[in-house]
Structure formats: C-alpha cells, structure tokens
C-alpha cells in the first residue's frame, strides 16, 4: 500500500492488549489493522489462567457477561510442598462471586483471545492472521509503518503488542535482547476432567472456582507453580528461573513432571486427559523489568511487550494489565488529535488508569521471590512443622515451642531468618 492509503493505527499482536486497543480505536471510527502471527488470535497463547473483570468493564461496561469465561474465583489458595507432604492455606470469600460483576474468573486463553479479537472486528478493526511482521518502517526518526515480507503497510501510529520478547521493541531501539535474568520459563498443561470431579476435588459448587499458587515445586530453583480450575479442565503449570534450572542440571519437563506427580498434587489431576500443552517466557521483574521508555514518535508498546506483568507471590496478574495498557494507548491516540504527543499522553493514561502506580507499589516483590530459601527451604520446613504438630506415635513429644524451634534450626539459621525478614520488609 502507499503512504496515502495508510491506516490510523497498526497493532502488532492480537492478544488481550492488542485487541483491547483495537476495539476502542475502531469503536471511535479509526481505521485499524491488527496483525497476528498465529493462525488465529490466541493460537500461540498458553499464558495466564485468570482475568480480573474490572479491566473488561473498563473497556466496555457489561462486556464480561459476553466473554467466554470459566469459573468465578472464590477460593484463593497458597500451597507449600515438602518431599511427600503439602500445606495449603485456603482463603474463601463468597462475596467475590456476588453482584453483577464478580471479581475474577479463570479463563482459557485461546477462546478468550479469539473472542476479544472478534469484538474488535465487530467494531470495524481489520484482523490479518498468519502474518509475521519483519521490521518497522522508519522515516526521519518517526515510525510510519511495518514490513511483512515484501509488503509495506503504513499508519499514523504502530502499537507493539507482540509479547514478552518483543521484536518490535527491539526494532524501535527501546529494548535490547532480553536476558535469562529478566524472564522465567513457564510450562502449562490443560487437563480435562468432568465438572463434578473438579468441584469435588477443590471443594467447589456450581460455577465457583479456585486459584492456587504453589511453592516448593521447582526443585530448589526460584519460581513456583499454579493450578486453576476451569469449567471442565484444570490449568496446571510451573514458572521458574532458567538460569537456576541450568545450574542444577534440571530439565524443564522433569521439573514439571515431578510437580504433577507429587503426592499432594497428583490426586487433583488423576484420571484427566491432556488437551493442551505449551511453554513460553514470562516477564519476572515487575516494574523493574519495564523498559525505561515505552514509546518513540509514531510508536508505543503495550501489554507483555511493555513488561506489564505482576507477581506478588500470592497473585499473578497479566491479562488485566494487558487490557488496561491497551485502553491507555487507545485513549492516548484518540486524545492526540489536538496535536499532543501520543507517547506522553500514553504515560499519563497509564497513571490515570492506576496501572503504573500499581506496578510501582509492588516493585520490590521480585526481590522477595528471589530469596533462595523461599522455593528451596521454607516450604519443606513448613511441611515438617505441620507434621510435628499433627503426628501421633504414642511417644511423649518435646515441648511445642522447643520442637518447632528444633525443626527451624535444622533448615535455616537465625541469621538467615533475620536477613530474609529484613529483605522482605525493606522491599514491601
């Protein structure tokens, strides 16, 4: 196409960020082209497992009711694994399931992404799938379009929504190649089970769901696991530091398989059938992993491409932040009609929509998660303490405090506890 035939916006990537951005722009009458490398929106995505409804409502009130969502999460769980044992903290709040807009749902990415991209198409966006963008077109320092093979497509603004290892961000000169320290390797499997079996195993009724994060499942490597209940499937996976796994000589599949076969985990998935499997990179640095600059003239980055993923150790957030960043970019483009710079407006919208302040609030949490004893020592210690508290063998046990302190000293020194506690307080 010629520059005279250009689009108002080209969005690279049809994940939640790209589709949300395209939805709003097209709704306001902008000509939008969404380019997706996969054969369909969502075909390459296995990440996530949960969406917070406020983001969908921010995009369009009532939109969550149309989405292909799974179960309403009412059980928030944290599991710590020992070698042959598990300790689970189970917080239940039924208010999360009440009202017109429940707080969050479990979600399957492939149907969800395809649905959201379809909603953008309904508003008038053009979706082109199975196309790889090879380069940006830059003229006089401004990004004016993209190249895909021999084809050149032009636009007033190019919006990068192409994932954690964003090729567009590198081409724009805003990010170098990512390092192993910046990301984790995520492996996820979706296992099919009858709905009534899922409800029984996770103590659920009706359309209630559970979201469980797991520590002690990465064989000493920094990271953790997750288990989400869907309608008739379970999403289970691990995310861990590739550097740590390599140093320990651990293979990805071995770590994941050992996690699934753990005696506290296997009963949850026993008898199920694998219907989806995949691996991907996950941004692990939170706010510290967000590039110093997310825009240049004619270009902005959103979603995973901008590093908008949050892991507090109790909650993993990515889909909602992606949608909100897409909304922020769309608002910036729409607000730039008076001649203002899109990039600076985008950063203001990230503040207005509370995305940047939220990321900054939890900026220190990756440093806590990186404490070596969290995946390797404390879960096993917790399990041994629970064993001591509940085991009855007919003998006279030592005094409770003395027995627990003996277990603690076996795993960690007082100095290490104090150092870890101080690091945790300092980063919170």
pLDDT for position 208: 95
pLDDT above 90 covers a percentage of the chain that reads: 59
**pLDDT class for 4, splitting at 50, 70, 90?**
low
Span between the terminal Cα atoms of the chain, in Å: 52
**pLDDT tens sequence across 371-384:** 888 888 888 888 88
Is the per-residue pLDDT at 250 higher than 90? no
Same domain for 330 and 242: no
Strand, helix or coil for residue 257: helix
- Residue 386 inside a domain? The answer is yes
pLDDT for position 416: 85
**pLDDT class for 105, splitting at 50, 70, 90?**
very high
pLDDT for position 32: 97
pLDDT for position 153: 95
The runs of H, that is alpha helices, within 212-370 are: 242-247, 252-261, 266-269, 319-335, 342-352, 355-361, 365-369
Is the per-residue pLDDT at 338 higher than 70? no
| Cα 329 from chain centroid (whole Å) | 19
Same domain for 187 and 173: no
- The residue out of 283, 308, 343 marking a domain boundary is 283
Is the per-residue pLDDT at 38 higher than 90? no
- Residue 319 inside a domain? The answer is yes
- Residue 361 inside a domain? The answer is no
Is the per-residue pLDDT at 3 higher than 70? no
Instruction: Return the number of other C-beta atoms located less than 10 Å from residue 58's C-beta.
Output: 15
Q: Beta strand 183-192 with 233-240: parallel, antiparallel or unpaired? A: antiparallel
Distance CA 155, CA 3 (A): 8
Distance CA 362, CA 321 (A): 14
pLDDT for position 46: 60
Whether the CB-CB separation of 227 and 73 falls below 8 Å is answered with: no
pLDDT (mean) for 54-81: 95
Is the per-residue pLDDT at 71 higher than 80? yes
Q: Please, is 358 exposed, middle or buried when counting C-beta atoms within 10 Å of its C-beta (0-12, 13-18, 19+)?
A: middle
Same domain for 44 and 151: yes
pLDDT for position 350: 97
Distance CA 18, CA 303 (A): 8
pLDDT (mean) for 54-82: 94
Work out whether the CA dihedral 384, 386, 391, 395 comes out positive or negative. Answer: positive
Same domain for 40 and 166: yes
Which stretch of DSSP H or E encloses residue 390? helix 378-390
pLDDT (mean) for 115-120: 96
pLDDT for position 336: 87
- The residue out of 232, 256, 283 marking a domain boundary is 283
- Residue 256 inside a domain? The answer is yes
pLDDT (mean) for 198-215: 95
- Residue 362 inside a domain? The answer is no
- Residue 393 inside a domain? The answer is yes
Q: Beta strand 104-107 with 151-160: parallel, antiparallel or unpaired? A: unpaired
Is the per-residue pLDDT at 319 higher than 60? yes
Whether the CB-CB separation of 9 and 25 falls below 8 Å is answered with: yes
Same domain for 168 and 52: yes
Q: What is the CATH number of the domain that holds 261?
A: 3.30.9.90
Work out whether the CA dihedral 378, 311, 292, 175 comes out positive or negative. Answer: positive
pLDDT for position 266: 96
Q: Beta strand 50-52 with 86-92: parallel, antiparallel or unpaired? A: unpaired
Name the pTM for this structure: 0.92
- Residue 141 inside a domain? The answer is yes
Whether the CB-CB separation of 109 and 288 falls below 8 Å is answered with: no
Token pair of 303 as six digits: 């979603």
Same domain for 24 and 156: yes
Q: Which of 15-29, 153-167, 309-323, 331-345 has the lowest mean pLDDT?
A: 331-345
pLDDT (mean) for 264-292: 90
Distance CA 384, CA 390 (A): 10
**pLDDT class for 204, splitting at 50, 70, 90?**
very high
pLDDT for position 45: 67
Q: What is the CATH number of the domain that holds 25?
A: 3.50.50.60
Count each helix (H run) and each strand (E run) in the chain, helices first.
16, 19
Distance CA 376, CA 247 (A): 14
Same domain for 279 and 228: yes
Is the per-residue pLDDT at 164 higher than 90? no
pLDDT for position 419: 87
pLDDT (mean) for 97-116: 90
Work out whether the CA dihedral 213, 215, 217, 220 comes out positive or negative. Answer: positive
Give the domain extent around 313: 3-68+108-177+289-353
Among 92-96, 190-194, 247-251, 286-290, the range of highest mean pLDDT: 190-194
**Mean pLDDT over the full length of the chain:** 89
Same domain for 122 and 173: yes
- The residue out of 257, 283, 309 marking a domain boundary is 283
Instruction: State how many domains the chain has.
Output: 3
pLDDT for position 156: 94
Token pair of 163 as six digits: 């994932």
Strand, helix or coil for residue 330: helix
Strand, helix or coil for residue 201: helix
pLDDT for position 422: 84
Same domain for 241 and 307: no
- Residue 99 inside a domain? The answer is no
Residue 341 sits at the vertex; the CA angle it makes with 338 and 347, to the nearest 5 degrees, is 120
Whether the CB-CB separation of 272 and 192 falls below 8 Å is answered with: yes
Same domain for 312 and 198: no
Same domain for 419 and 299: no
Is the per-residue pLDDT at 271 higher than 80? yes
Distance CA 15, CA 239 (A): 20
Same domain for 133 and 58: yes
Q: Which of 2-11, 89-98, 199-208, 348-357 has the lowest mean pLDDT?
A: 2-11
Whether the CB-CB separation of 41 and 117 falls below 8 Å is answered with: yes
């Amino acid at each position: 196409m010629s520059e005279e035939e250009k689009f108002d916006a080209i969005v690279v990537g049809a994940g939640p960020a790209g589709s949300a951005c395209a939805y709003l722009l097209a709704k306001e009458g902008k000509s939008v082209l969404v380019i997706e490398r996969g054969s369909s929106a969502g075909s390459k995505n296995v990440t996530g497992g949960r969406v917070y409804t406020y983001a969908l409502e921010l995009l369009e009130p009532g939109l969550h009711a149309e989405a292909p969502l799974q179960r309403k999460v009412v059980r928030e769980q944290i599991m710590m694994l020992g070698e042959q044992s598990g300790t689970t903290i189970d917080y239940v709040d039924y208010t999360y399931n009440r009202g017109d807009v429940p707080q969050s749902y479990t979600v399957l990415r492939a149907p969800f992404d395809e649905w959201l991209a379809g909603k953008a198409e309904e508003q008038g966006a053009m979706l082109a799938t199975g196309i790889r963008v090879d380069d940006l077109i830059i003229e006089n320092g401004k990004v004016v379009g993209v190249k895909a093979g021999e084809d050149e497509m032009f636009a007033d603004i190019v919006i990068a929504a192409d994932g954690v290892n964003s090729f567009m961000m590198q081409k724009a000169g805003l990010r170098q190649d990512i390092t192993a320290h910046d990301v984790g390797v995520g492996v996820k499997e979706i296992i099919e089970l009858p709905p009534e079996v899922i409800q029984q195993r996770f103590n659920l009724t009706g359309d209630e769901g559970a979201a469980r994060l797991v520590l002690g499942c990465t064989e000493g490597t920094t990271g953790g696991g997750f288990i989400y209940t869907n309608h008739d499937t379970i999403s289970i996976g691990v995310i861990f530091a590739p550097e740590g796994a390599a140093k320990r000589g651990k293979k990805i599949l071995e770590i994941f398989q050992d996690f699934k076969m753990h005696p506290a985990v296997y009963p949850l998935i026993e008898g199920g059938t694998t219907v989806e499997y995949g691996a991907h990179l996950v941004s692990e640095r939170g706010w510290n992993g967000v590039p110093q600059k997310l825009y240049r003239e004619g270009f902005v980055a959103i979603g995973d491409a901008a590093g908008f993923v949050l892991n507090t150790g109790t909650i993993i957030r990515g889909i909602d932040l992606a949608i909100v960043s897409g909304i922020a970019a769309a608002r910036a483009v729409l607000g730039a009609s008076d001649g203002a710079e899109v990039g600076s407006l985008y950063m203001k919208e990230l503040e207005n929509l509370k995305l940047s302040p939220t990321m900054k609030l939890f900026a220190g949490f990756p440093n806590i998660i990186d404490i070596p004893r969290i995946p390797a020592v404390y879960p096993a210690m917790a399990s041994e303490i629970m064993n001591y508290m509940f085991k009855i063998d007919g003998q006279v046990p030592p005094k409770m405090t003395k027995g627990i302190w003996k277990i603690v000293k076996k795993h960690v020194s007082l100095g290490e506890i104090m150092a870890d506690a101080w690091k945790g307080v300092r980063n919170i």
